[in-house]
Amino acid sequence: MRGRRASASEISTPPTTGRSEGGEIANCELSGGREQRSVFDPRSWRWLRRLVLWWIDSRAAPIPACADTAKQRALELGCSHGAFLIQLRELGWECLGIEPAAEVASRAAERGFDVRVGPLEEVVAVDPQTFTPLSFDAVFAWMVIEHLHDPVATLRLVRELLKPGGTLSFSVPNFGCWERRAFGRFWYAMQLPTHLQHFTSGSLRRLLEINGFELLDLIHQRNVNNLVGSVGLWLRTKFPRWSVGERLIRWTDNPSALGLCLLAPIARLLAMMRQAGRLTVVVRRK
Give the whole-number percent of the chain exceeding pLDDT 70. Answer: 76
Q: Which residues contact 199 (CB under 8 A, 6 or more apart)?
A: 145, 146, 172, 173, 174, 175, 207, 279
Whose CA is closest to 149, among 45, 37, 15?
15
CB 132 within 8 A of CB 184: no
Cα 72 to Cα 74: distance, rounded to the nearest angstrom: 7
Cα 270 to Cα 201: distance, rounded to the nearest angstrom: 15
- In sequence order, what are the beta bridge partners of 220? 279
Instruction: Name the phi and psi angles at 208, rounded to 5.
Output: -70, -35
Cα 281 to Cα 141: distance, rounded to the nearest angstrom: 10
What's the mean pLDDT in 45-70? 63
Angle at 216 between CA 273 and CA 168, to 5 degrees: 110
4-45+58-177+190-222+277-285 has which CATH code? Answer: 3.40.50.150
Whose CA is closest to 266, among 235, 226, 223?
223
pLDDT tens profile 109-168: 999 999 999 999 999 999 999 999 999 999 999 999 999 999 999 999 999 999 999 999
Tell me if residue 151 falls in helix, strand or coil: helix
Q: Is the pLDDT of residue 56 over 70?
A: no
Question: Residues for the chain: how many in total?
Answer: 286
Give the dihedral of Cα atoms 209, 222, 35, 244; nearest 10 deg: 120
- pLDDT at residue 62 in the model: 62
How do the domains of the chain map onto residue ranges? 4-45+58-177+190-222+277-285
Average pLDDT across the chain, whole number: 83
pLDDT tens profile 172-223: 999 999 999 999 999 999 998 999 999 999 999 999 999 999 999 999 999 8
What's the mean pLDDT in 238-254? 94
Give the dihedral of Cα atoms 266, 272, 278, 279; nearest 10 deg: 160
CB 199 within 8 A of CB 173: yes
- Confidence band for 40, pLDDT divided at 50, 70 and 90: very low
